[in-house]
């Protein structure tokens, strides 16, 4: 899924830099050393919960807009995501147009 999202974003006509981290630890390392406007994070990462990653991102840079992808349609996850300031909680399966729409709406703010 990550590869498909990355491929589609790179194929789009958007002028943006894309970084991919397949583990929460690597994502946090990227966030500490770079400025990101938007993050797209899966809740189920191999090494940690994506909502924990969001919490750390918001501590490091509160201005970073975070979107979460999940197959968990649970109120507890959705409520925690909202509490952390997640912009959108995207349920799997999703369509490519949803991700592109999110990127369009976030970059036009």
- Paired strand residues for 90: 69
How far apart, in whole angstroms, are the C-alpha atoms of residue 79 and residue 85? 10
Q: pLDDT band for position 107 (50/70/90)?
A: low
What topology is assigned to 2-10+20-99 in CATH?
Rossmann fold (3.40.50)
With the C-alpha atoms ordered 4, 13, 70, 91, is the resulting torsion angle positive or negative? Answer: negative
Question: pLDDT-based confidence at 102, cuts 50/70/90?
Answer: confident
What pTM did the predictor assign? 0.88
34-68 pLDDT, tens digit each = 999 999 999 999 999 999 999 999 999 999 999 99
Mean pLDDT of 85-109: 82
What pLDDT does 109 receive?
A: 47
DSSP state letter for 95: -
């Amino acid at each position: 899924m990550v590869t498909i999202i990355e491929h589609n974003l790179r194929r789009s006509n958007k002028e943006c830099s894309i970084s991919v981290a397949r583990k929460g630890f690597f994502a946090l390392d990227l966030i500490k050393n770079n400025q990101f406007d938007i993050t797209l994070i899966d809740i189920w990462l191999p090494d940690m919960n994506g909502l924990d990653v969001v919490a750390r991102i918001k501590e490091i840079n509160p201005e970073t807009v975070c979107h979460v992808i999940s197959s968990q349609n649970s109120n507890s996850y959705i409520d925690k995501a909202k509490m952390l300031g997640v912009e959108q909680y995207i349920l799997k399966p999703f369509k490519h147009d949803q991700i592109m729409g999110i990127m369009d709406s976030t970059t036009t703010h």
